[in-house]
Structure 1
Amino acid sequence: MSPDPVKRAFLVVDDEPFVRMDLAELVRECGLEAYEAGSTSEALAVLERAAESFSGLITDVNMPGSRSGFVLANHVRVVWPHIRIIVVSAGRKPLTGELPADTAFIAKPWNQDALSAAIGGI
């Protein structure tokens, strides 16, 4: 299913299904469409098909496979610079230079108001 080109959409990327569903629900509560991916490779496949329809991306840092959320965030910034990026993590905060410019970082467990503000800041 492709995002509605008229309504802004967010891609939520997290390998934990319940966390991903919670994040997607928060995106919907902010008035946006939410699409979900369980891995970096799945997220890239979605973006390659319809990146112009997405205004934002939320990704966890720890992802299955060889590409982390940091890698995804940096790739998205280069290839699709129009997409706003939010990175969430329970594991660790990013080191200086690990995230592209203009990327929001929110630690898990996230503060719902802070995450809603980051999502709504698009």
Structure 2
Amino acid sequence: MSDPTPAATILVVDGDILVRHVIADYLRSCGYTVLEAASGEEARALLATEAARIDVVLADAGAQGAFEGFALAHWLRQAHPRIKIVLAGAPVMAAAQASALCDDGPQVGKPYQPQQVVDRIRWLMARRDRHRP
């Protein structure tokens, strides 16, 4: 895609520090503002103070725990419906659920190439901008 990167703040939520840092660094190199959280609980705490400036949450769909993956996405839909969600690595059986939570469109499997995430974020931001009054 050759269009300029829209101003957006992305919250990357992944318990794997290497994965989280690699994708966060890549997103920063593409011009995005990036916040990081190691867990759903950490993301929730960050969202308590920063939700107004966060546009997209990228979270690991396969993360285990009471407030990880799909549980985080469901909570976001209720608490912060404006924020777009990208669930990376949604299991095949959960693809329909992930699609409903993530505003349809192309999903991001795992392992993914960082550019796939950027393409998905650009798609979400373009869709959001088309629907603004």
**Which TM-score tier does this pair reach, normalised by the shorter chain?**
0.7 to 0.9
Cα deviation, residue 64, structure 1: 4.5
Aligned length: 115
Cα RMSD, aligned residues only: 2.0
Between 1:23-32 and 1:11-20, the stretch displaced more is 23-32
Unaligned regions of 5+ residues in structure 1, if any? 1-6
Contact 1:30/1:119 (CA < 8 Å) preserved in 2?
Answer: no
Cα deviation, residue 48, structure 1: 0.9
In structure 2, the partner of 1:79 is: 79
Cα deviation, residue 92, structure 1: 2.1
Instruction: Give the structure with the larger strand fraction.
Output: 1
In structure 1, the partner of 2:116 is: 114
Unaligned regions of 5+ residues in structure 2, if any? 1-6, 126-133
Q: Does 1:41 align with 2:65?
A: no
Structure 1 stretches (4+) deviating beyond 3 angstroms?
none
Q: Deviations over 1:5-48 (max 9, x none)?
A: xx531100000000000111122123111111011000000001
In structure 1, the partner of 2:91 is: 92
TM-score where L is the length of structure 1: 0.82
Give 2:18's aligned amino acid.
F
**SS in structure 1 of the partner of residue 62 of structure 2:** coil
Instruction: Give the structure with the larger helix fraction.
Output: 2
TM-score where L is the length of structure 2: 0.76
Aligned partners of 2:115 and 2:16: how far apart in 1? 22
Aligned partners of 1:108 and 1:95: how far apart in 2? 13
Contact 1:13/1:60 (CA < 8 Å) preserved in 2?
Answer: yes
Q: Deviations over 1:80-120 (max 9, x none)?
A: 1111111112x723243355150553111113332211122
Contact 1:30/1:120 (CA < 8 Å) preserved in 2?
Answer: no
Give 2:69's aligned amino acid.
G
In structure 1, the partner of 2:4 is: none
Q: Percent identity?
A: 28
